[in-house]
Amino acid sequence: MMDYYSGSPSRHSNRRSSIRKSNYSFRRRRRQHNRIPILLLILLLVAVVGCGIFICIRQFQKMKPEKTPGNQSSVTVSGSVNGSSGSPTDPSASDPLDPGQETSSNSAVSSTSLLEQANFIAAGYDYDKAIELLKGASDYDQHPEYLEAVTSYEQAKETLVPYDLNKVTHIFFHTLIMDEDKAFDGDSDERGYNQVMTTADEFLKILQSMYDKGFVLVRLHDIAYETTDETGQTIMKKGEILLPEGKQAFVMSQDDVCYYEYMDGDGFASRIVIGADGKPTCEMKLDDGTISTGSYDLVPLLEDFIQEHPDFSYRGARAVIAFTGYQGILGYRTAASYSDSPTYEEDRQTASAVAQCLRDNGWELASHSWGHRDLGNIEYAHFKTDCDKWENEVESLIGPTDIILFPFGADVGDWHPYSSDNDRFNYLHNLGFRYFCNVDSTQYWVQFGKDYLRQGRRNLDGYRMWKDIEAGDDTSKRKLDDLFKAEDVFSSKRPTPVQWN
Ligand SMILES: [Zn+2]
């Protein structure tokens, strides 16, 4: 569209200068005949008429851009429609190269798109935002379908009920296995992958099963949020999650999103990048050495799923993405130990931009400690050093975060509420952490502290799925049936049995 705008005025000025040129040659011919008075008078008359016509043409020429219905006027109109919809990349923008477009058809296309946008937001249970979007349209009154949609959103909103916050389950994954033949190839890393990782195919089957059962992804910040009470004290307050009756809220997280060196060549993505559409996506090295960009891990795969099933995400919620620091984050070698690399500064800048892109698209970022340490049991001095290193090397790149997902699920306290003399909790709290997640295979474990939220997480990996399969009909030992049936998901390419050690 920019090309058209810049090209358009020069085309008009060319036309004007050719008219001026023809008028100049006409005046030159007139001077050659001025020795004959009668002819002169006639010619003067012609010249006056000619000048009049010339001025008229010039005037017409000046007016033409504003008066031609197809070109700039339609662009101006559609531009203002897009402006009011707040969507600069709106695909409904009129095609300026099509002079036959009329204002009414342009706005019809835009209104469909605005309605689609509102429907997508409403599908994610944010009816107020959807209503606000439609009511904010300058031509709201001219679209009966807007009013119809607003009425249906208001009715749907009435049916929402507060979800029991003690029943928010939390599932987590590691980097997804994209190429099972490479991950389960019998080398020394195979055992670990088989235990703690999930394949992309299994992940998609889990999403589908959970979607069919009515699960809806929420944020940790939807469960509780920090605010100030009447006395001015900073507290964590219970949130409110409003869902249709029968839906079940859950949180998702992914640990170790670092694409560690040992995983190279084992069938995983190599890093997260910003895609052409401005959304986070992945790069993966193919067998022929080329690098392919696409949905090669949880972030883009979940995004794709939500685009197709917008009612799977509560008000734009995405998963929590957690990083260690010792080999850098997101597939970029940003740790201080890589500072000799010629691309070190560039990698740090790119990692920082990708982290911001994740935040902009609804993902929450978290600490997983710097050195993947057992924060509950290492010496206190080492605990502090590790926390400080994470602040210096990772938080400096991704910005402040208030979530920590404990490596090995090893918490800094037992199941009782954190006490005020718990030094490790106090240290983490002073660093800004408010959400503390361990690993707990029970269905729900949510603890509301006065200044923190604590939650247990469930590992949906090869080991956990195999335990369910081993349990067979013994439902007391099966832990995943509320989410999916392990037998329907577990990959046939996994070596079995999956043992812990
Ligand atoms: Zn981990």
Distance 300 CA to ligand 1 centre (A): 20
Distance 473 CA to ligand 1 centre (A): 31
Distance 249 CA to ligand 1 centre (A): 24
C-beta atoms surrounding 500 within 10 Å? 9
Distance 456 CA to ligand 1 centre (A): 15
Of 322, 351, 175, 328, the C-alpha closest to 253 is 322
Distance 62 CA to ligand 1 centre (A): 69
Distance 321 CA to ligand 1 centre (A): 11
Distance 490 CA to ligand 1 centre (A): 21
Q: Over pLDDT 70: what percentage of the chain? A: 78
Q: What is the pLDDT of residue 75?
A: 30
Distance 433 CA to ligand 1 centre (A): 18
Of 462, 480, 408, the C-alpha closest to 199 is 462
Distance 11 CA to ligand 1 centre (A): 62
Q: Which long-range contacts (CB under 8 A, 24 or more apart) does 257-261 make?
A: 257/175, 257/297, 257/299, 257/321, 257/322, 257/323, 257/329, 257/330, 258/323, 258/324, 258/327, 258/328, 258/329, 258/330, 258/331, 259/175, 259/330, 259/331, 260/327, 261/327
Distance 411 CA to ligand 1 centre (A): 13
Say if residue 44's pLDDT is above 70: no
| Residue 367 phi, psi dihedral angles, 5° rounding | -90, 145
Distance 89 CA to ligand 1 centre (A): 38
Distance 442 CA to ligand 1 centre (A): 19
Distance 316 CA to ligand 1 centre (A): 26
Distance CA 373, CA 351 (A): 23
Distance 192 CA to ligand 1 centre (A): 12
Distance 449 CA to ligand 1 centre (A): 25
Distance 196 CA to ligand 1 centre (A): 9
Question: In the structure encoding, which two tokens stand for residue 429, read together?
Answer: 């709290």
- pLDDT band for position 112 (cuts 50, 70, 90): low
Comparing 320 with 60, the larger pLDDT belongs to: 320
The whole-angstrom distance between residue 351's C-alpha and the CA centroid of its chain comes to 16
- Mean confidence (pLDDT) of the chain: 84
pLDDT tens for each residue of 116-140: 999 999 999 999 999 999 999 999 9
Q: What is the pLDDT of residue 18?
A: 37
Q: What is the pLDDT of residue 43?
A: 55
Distance 420 CA to ligand 1 centre (A): 27
Which residues contact residue 365 at a Cβ distance below 8 angstroms, ignoring those fewer than 6 apart? 320, 321, 322, 323, 355, 358, 359, 398, 399, 401, 403
| HEC secondary structure over 202-224 | HHHHHHHHHHHCCEEECCHHHHE
Residues 44/49/54/56 CA torsion (nearest 10 deg): 150
| HEC secondary structure over 409-465 | HCCCCCCCCCCCCCHHHHHHHHCCCCEEEEECCCCCCEEECCCCEEEEEEECCHHHH
Q: If you ran DSSP here, which 8-state letter would residue 79 be given?
A: H
Distance 475 CA to ligand 1 centre (A): 29
Distance CA 86, CA 106 (A): 16
Distance 405 CA to ligand 1 centre (A): 8
Distance 124 CA to ligand 1 centre (A): 30
Comparing 35 with 489, the larger pLDDT belongs to: 489
Say if residue 96's pLDDT is above 70: no
Distance CA 407, CA 371 (A): 9
- Reduce the DSSP state of residue 73 to 3 states and report it: helix
When computed from its CA atoms, the radius of gyration of the chain, rounded to whole angstroms, is 32
Distance 173 CA to ligand 1 centre (A): 9
Distance 462 CA to ligand 1 centre (A): 15
Distance 404 CA to ligand 1 centre (A): 11
pLDDT tens for each residue of 408-464: 999 999 999 999 999 999 999 999 999 999 999 899 999 999 999 999 999 999 999
Distance 371 CA to ligand 1 centre (A): 10
Distance 407 CA to ligand 1 centre (A): 5
Q: Over pLDDT 90: what percentage of the chain? A: 76
Distance 403 CA to ligand 1 centre (A): 14
pLDDT tens for each residue of 372-386: 999 999 999 999 999
Which residues contact residue 17 at a Cβ distance below 8 angstroms, ignoring those fewer than 6 apart? none
Distance 262 CA to ligand 1 centre (A): 14
